[in-house]
Structure formats: structure tokens, C-alpha cells
Structure 1
Amino acid sequence: MRPALARLALCVALSGSFAAYADQPLSPAQQFARTHLIVDTHIDAPGELLDRWRDLGVDQPEVEFDYPRARQGGLDVGFMSIYTSAEDDAAGTARQKAHMQIDAIEALAWRHPDRFAIVRSPADVDRLKPGQQVLLAFGMENAAPIGNDLGQLKVFHDRGVRYITLAHSHSNRLADGSYSLKRPHGGLSALGEQAVAEMNRLGIMVDVSHLSDDAVRDVLRVSKAPVIASHSGLRKFTPGFERNLSDELAQAIAKQGGVVQLVFGSGFIDAGMAAQTTEYFRALDAFERETEATRARGETPPKTLEQFDAEWDEKRKPVATKIDQVLDQVDHAVKLLGADHVGIGSDFDGVGGKLPQGLRTVADYPNLVAGMRERGHSDEVIAKVLGENLLRVWREVEKRAQR
């Protein structure tokens, strides 16, 4: 446990933009956030650093994760998302890009050893969390950097990767993706099944976010350790949106001891935004097929993927969402799965700012605490959801690997 006022004073000292908080007493929710473990399993800061270097050890208002905001919100452990795209995979650059993102976070921790520390185990968390550092772990979003070489799983484990999302927006060598219209494996491939077994052996958590329903079922059939959904919503609130988990699959994850980490992004909590996302991937599939056909004729495609995305964004305005929509998912998940199988995976810096009012940056976790309290959740349940459940699963995955 850390003295709350000391932590707030540190934030103020590090960034003048937080000076307004110096003389304000902490709310009960802020006190709770600063004295209980908070683990967020999905923050896309590494990709932001590759796009443009920013010193996240100081105030950076244009992004959603930096040290002062993390301290303000009470974040203890943030899983840094090592994301690579299907395009990186096709170009053969995914592995290099993954290592570059890990390098960027290691450089950040090296630059600010008093503010950040990289953790590889729950034991590291237990040892370091009484300090003032924000603890950084690595999760790999998309197994594209593994390629066909399962030996790369150990390479990335040695670099600190502690969960891997098997696929992302497209199906890949290991698994079918929930957004993909092309599903060559009908779930997991044979290589994907071998990868899950090797991840179990190494102690890497298997992440089923982004997978097709059949792939999730295959993971649950194959894995000998509990699995996680690092950043998923519940399909009850977005009917027909396969990217979110059905009640049935969420219950199956919980039954095997896993945890569903609920996402904050507007596209996952709002039915209208989810429908837009589904429409986008259908349009993207048509665009890619047209592009392939154009190149096959020896012609230059009329537009790039970047131009396609820019035109799409220009035509469709995001729907405003509120924190209550995240709280609705928390309420349903706790009732459906039990308080031991729910957590948080925000997707900060990964959804283009499309976030609900009240949960816009890592400074806002106390708003979630306050909302859960208002809805009748006990402090014990809130503590489990904020981080204790994820740490329990991580310990179990590590323990089974050691066996």
C-alpha cells in the first residue's frame, strides 16, 4: 500500500499541468485507486512510440498513457501492446517491428528508472509495486512475428512477452480472426495448436481477443492453462459482433479459470459503433480483393490503404459513448461469470481516441471505481476486477509452466 498523498505530490512535481490537483483532497475513489492494485492488459503505447517518439515519462497531452496520468489514475501494471498488422506480416517486417517496439519501451524504462520498471512475473509485481514506478509488462497483439517458427515463442518470452493474441484483424498461420471473411482453418490451425501447447510450456498467457468463435473454442480445448481475453467486450451489448465474446464463450473461459478483460473503446461497447466496425472490415475485404486484381493485371491500384482508411473515417462520424456503457458490461460480466473472472483491458492509444466520456486516459480509473461503487459492487469485487484476477491467472499460467 502506498500513501495516497505522497503519490499525488509526485505527480504534481513531475508535471506542472497537474498543479491544480495539489491542494485538492482525494476523493474516496481516488484513494481506492491509489491504494489497490490496478492492472490494465492492453495499452498501445509502443505503436505510438514508433509512429513518433514521445517521452512518456513526462506530461504528453496528445496521448492517453504517460507517467503523470498513470500516477494520477493509480495504474500499477500496464501491459504494453506489441502490435503488428497483417500488412506487416505480408511484407515480412512483423518480427523486426515487434522487436523495435520492445526496444522502445525498454529505452523508456532506461531513461526513467525512477518512473518505470519492466516486469516479467507476478513476483516482480509483488516486489516492485510498493514503489512509485509504473510497472510495464509486454503483450503481443497478433502472432505474426512468430511466423512459422515456434522457436520464436521462446525468443519473445525471453524478451518479456507474457501474453500473445493469436490473430488480429485477419486470419493468420495460427488462427482465424473474428473480423476476417477468409477463415482457412475453421478455428486454430495445426501450427496454432502447437503454439498454444508451447505457450503453456513457456508460461505465456494465451489471449483469445480478436479470434473467431471457432478459434476460441479450439484454444479452450487445447490449452492446459487458463486463458485470457486481453481486451474484449460482451456480445450481449453488440449483437452479431463476433469480435466481442458471446455469453457462452465468456462462461467457458471462466469455467477453465480464465479472465475476461473488458475493453473501453467505443467500437466495442456501442452497438452502432460495432456495426460500423463490421461494415469497415467488409469494405476492406472488397478493397483488398480489388487491389489484388488490379495488380494481377499489371496496373497500379487507384488508392493506397492509407487513402482508403482516410476516406472511410471522413465519411463516418463516431458515436458519442459514456462510461455507463462500460459499467453495464462490468455489471453483466460479474453476474454472468462471477467476480473472480472479470478484469480491464482499456485499449488506450489503440482506438484513435474513440473512448467513452469518463474513461479517456489512464488518469480515469477512479471514475470506474466510483461507478462500480454507485452500482453496488463491494470494494472486494472492485479490487478483483481492477487487477487481482489477472494477477491470479498470470500466477497460475506461470505455475503450470514450471511443472
Structure 2
Amino acid sequence: MTRLHDEALVADLHNDLILLVDHFDHRGRPDYFGDFWLPELRAGGVNVQVLPVYIDEQFQSEGALRRTLLLIERIHRLAEQYPQLVVCRTGSDIARAVADGRIALVIALEGAHALGQDPELIRTMERVGVRVVSLAHMGRTLLADGSGVDDSSCGGLTPQGLEVLAEMERLGIVYDLSHLGIVGVEDVLEHASRPLLATHSACRAVTDIHRNLTDAQLKGVADLGGVIGVAAAIPPFIDPGRPTAARVVDHIEHLASVASIDAIALGPDFVDDYYQEVYGGWAIPGMEVTWEDSEIRRPSDLPRITEEMAARGFTDTDITKVLGGNAMRVLDEVMGIPAATSAP
């Protein structure tokens, strides 16, 4: 089974590692990525890494744009610092990087706080290499409501949010449903015309939490040709009491049954090391931290998912789809590829 994992293309749709890179930059450790994350990514067989730019609460208003651009710049400099990496803007770029034995980096925005209420800034983000975007995190932005406020507001996409969605499709930026509130998900599934991603989510029917997607939402993503990245590293999304590789595959099996094996990918959300280093433990607003440690904690743990899927009788073909084939199909079709326009 190690052979299958090693030979497959592995795409991770969500790893917040740039936050720790920035954290250690400011503490005199500019080589932290090479010392820690690069060996982890290699051990996990990761060929394609989507790097979300998340904006901590203290930056989410006046400082969001500046903080976003600084982190994007750090991703570009990371690729300059390590020849094993390359920032990619299209699926063709990714294919060349993987063929050369390099790790393909895809820049993403988690929450898009930097846009404020100015939809035109999505074009600026496209120019600096952003290729995947979600419009909200846990709370409310000027574009959409996150799932963390579903109990109090249930707002969907604002008019500016709908404008950003349309412009993303036109430019070839992949829409990310993860974190979006329930009405916002409905808005996107109604208005979207291109395949999209839920980069780091799971199944609400398996684990009932606001961050997971209902069966109808999962099917809606699949019907658009989209893909759900299973958030394998986040205990409350997988199973707070038993966040094991086996439970991750329970979500994968459920996804396959209600949507399609072609709609499943990996978006583990490896953020545990960041919380431990910066906060001394998990600290998520609106969530009571009472869960066990995840068995899938770092990229080097990813082969356990492959092993569990094989043990349950998934074919090699289906396993390779989940590990990266499905994610690459969406990235190939949408990332950096402007939508076709009608003739005048």
C-alpha cells in the first residue's frame, strides 16, 4: 500500500502552514519550512499543496488587505527560497511542477477579508496569483455569512458577494464553499456554473456540526462537477471522540454513497501545530474544545487514509481519485482558465 500512495498524485486542498512560517519568520527562524514542513510534505507524498491565507481576528478589518498581501508575498518568496516548490497559476503549471518532482503551490484566500466591500479587488488577487477563494470564515464578512453565525443570522451572499462569485468564474478562480453559511451555500449552488471546491469540510450526516455539509449540499457540489476535500485533521468535523483514519474513511464512504467517488478529495486542514505553538492548544471561537487528538495530524499521516481505504475494498483507481485525481480535475478545468464568453 505504500507503493500505491507513493505513486499516486496527492493533492492537499487546505494546509495553513504559511501562518507558522510567518510566525517563525518573526522569531528568527526563516528556515522553519525547510526544517519541518518540507520533510512532512515529502513524507506524506504531497505533490499539490493549496495554501490558504487566513486572517486572524485582529487583522480582519483595517489590516486585512495589508496582512493578506504580506502572506501572499511570503508564499512567493517561499518558492524562491526552496527550489523544490513552485507557485502555480494553472493546471498545466501544476502538471509541469509534478513532472519535475517539485511541490506545486496554489494560493488561496480563506475568508477573503481583504476584499472588504470592493468586488473589484478580486481582480487584484487574481493578478498576484490567487486561484482559490472562500468568502467567509466562521463569522460575517461584507460578502457573506460564515456557518458560525447560522443560528443568529442565516444570511446568504450579499450583492457584492454575488458579484465576486460571478467575477471569480469569469477569471478562472475556483470558488471554495467551506465555512460558508447554509443560505450562502444555497446561493452559490444556485448561481454557480463551473465546478467548485469545498476545500476542507465533511459530512453532517456522519458528524453533526455546522461546518459540515448536508447530503443535499454534497450532492449539489457533485452535480456541478465539484469536489469536497475531507477535513481529516479536524476532530470536531470527523468525530470528536474518535478522530481516527477509520472515521475519516467513514466520511469518504458516505460521500461516495450520496454523491460520487468522483466528488471526493483530501483537505485535512493541518492547523494543530499552529494552535499548539501560538495559543498553547486549540482555541476556536464558538466551539467547545473537548475532543481527542486526531490520528491524521500532519501530512506524514496521510498514508493511513490510503491504507484504510484499501482495507475496506476501495479499488486502486478510486483511491487515486480521492488522493488527488478528483481535485486535479477541478483545478485543470477552472484554475486560471477564464470562463467562455458568448459572442456579441
Q: TM-score, normalised by structure 1?
A: 0.75
SS in 2 for 1:39: strand
Hey, what's the Cα distance between the residues in 2 that align with 1:176 and 1:226?
A: 21
Name the counterpart of 1:13: none
Counterpart pick for 2:267 among 338, 341, 345: 345
Question: Could you list the per-position Cα deviations for residues 324-353 of structure 1 after superposition, in whole angstroms to 9, with x for gaps in the alignment?
Answer: 111110111112211111111010125736
Counterpart pick for 1:396 among 317, 333, 344: 333
1:116 matches 2:47: no
Counterpart pick for 2:5 among 8, 33, 40: 33
User: Alpha-carbon deviation of 1:86?
Assistant: 4.5
Question: Could you list the per-position Cα deviations for residues 239-274 of structure 1 after superposition, in whole angstroms to 9, with x for gaps in the alignment?
Answer: 2x221101111111111111111101112112xx4x
Hey, what's the Cα distance between the residues in 2 that align with 1:190 and 1:357?
A: 39
Aligned length: 320
Hey, what's the Cα distance between the residues in 1 that align with 2:44 and 2:312?
A: 20
Name the counterpart of 1:74: 45
* Contact 1:168 1:177 (8 Å CA) reproduced: yes
Name the counterpart of 1:376: 313
SS in 2 for 1:58: helix
User: Alpha-carbon deviation of 1:183?
Assistant: 6.0
Hey, what's the Cα distance between the residues in 2 that align with 1:192 and 1:229?
A: 17
Q: List aligned pairs for 1:55-70, cutoff 5 A.
A: 55-60=31-36, 66-70=37-41
CA separation of 1:164 and 1:367: change in aligned 2, threshold 3 A:
same
User: Alpha-carbon deviation of 1:320?
Assistant: 5.5
Q: TM-score, normalised by structure 2?
A: 0.88
Aligned residues with identical type, % of pairs: 31
| 2:315 partner amino acid | S
Hey, what's the Cα distance between the residues in 2 that align with 1:396 and 1:47?
A: 29
Name the counterpart of 2:202: 233
Pick the structure with greater CA Rg.
1
Name the counterpart of 2:142: 173
User: Alpha-carbon deviation of 1:103?
Assistant: 1.6
CA separation of 1:86 and 1:188: change in aligned 2, threshold 3 A:
farther
* Contact 2:119 2:161 (8 Å CA) reproduced: no
Question: Could you list the per-position Cα deviations for residues 111-142 of structure 1 after superposition, in whole angstroms to 9, with x for gaps in the alignment?
Answer: 111x2111111101111212232211111100
Hey, what's the Cα distance between the residues in 1 that align with 2:102 and 2:33?
A: 10
With 128-137 and 187-196 compared, the bigger mean Cα shift is at 128-137
- Judging by fraction of residues, say which structure has more helix: 1
SS in 2 for 1:135: strand
Counterpart pick for 2:24 among 48, 52, 64: 52
Pairwise CA RMSD: 1.9
User: Alpha-carbon deviation of 1:40?
Assistant: 0.5
Counterpart pick for 2:246 among 317, 321, 324: 324
CA separation of 1:75 and 1:147: change in aligned 2, threshold 3 A:
same
| 2:187 partner amino acid | D
Counterpart pick for 2:75 among 105, 130, 142: 105
Name the counterpart of 1:277: none
Q: List aligned pairs for 1:3-402, cutoff 5 A.
A: 29-53=1-25, 54=29, 55-60=31-36, 66-90=37-61, 92-113=62-83, 115-180=84-149, 186-239=155-208, 241-264=209-232, 265-270=234-239, 273=240, 319=241, 321-349=243-271, 352=275, 357-398=294-335, 399=337, 401-402=339-340
Hey, what's the Cα distance between the residues in 1 that align with 2:197 and 2:293?
A: 23
Hey, what's the Cα distance between the residues in 1 that align with 2:319 and 2:211?
A: 25
* Contact 2:171 2:338 (8 Å CA) reproduced: no
Hey, what's the Cα distance between the residues in 2 that align with 1:49 and 1:207?
A: 23
SS in 1 for 2:41: helix
